[in-house]
Amino acid sequence: MSKIKDEQLEKLQGLVNNLNQIQSQLGSIELQKHGLLHQSSELQSGLKEFQDELEKEYGRVSINIQDGTYEEITEEDESDKKD
């Protein structure tokens, strides 16, 4: 039976092993990405619910997240956004 040289076999095995490791790492990254996307979606839902609570208590306001101050949102403000 014919066989490639030992050095060639070692190089081939090394390349295949490195490729397999990279593919495994990419799979892990995709799983992490999926988890992060799920967490992001949950946080966005939670934020929306909390914004709705705040709106019930304070009305339509724009809140400064740095210091908690807020200003009422007027119809004029809304029409400025559309332009």
Average pLDDT over residues 74-80: 75
Q: What is the pLDDT of residue 82?
A: 66
Which tokens is 16 given?
Answer: 């295949």
Contact by Cβ (8 Å): 60, 73: yes
Choose between 80 and 35: higher pLDDT.
35
Q: Across the chain, where does the E strand assignment appear?
A: 61-63, 70-72
pTM over 0.85: no
Instruction: Tell me the per-residue pLDDT of 26-59, one tens digit each, with 9 for 90 and over.
Output: 999 999 999 999 999 999 999 999 999 999 999 9
Q: Angle at the Cα of 54 (from 51 to 55), degrees rounded to 5?
A: 85
22: left (phi over 0), alpha (psi -120 to 50) or beta: alpha
Q: What is the mean pLDDT of residues 4-24?
A: 98
Element (H, E) at 3: none
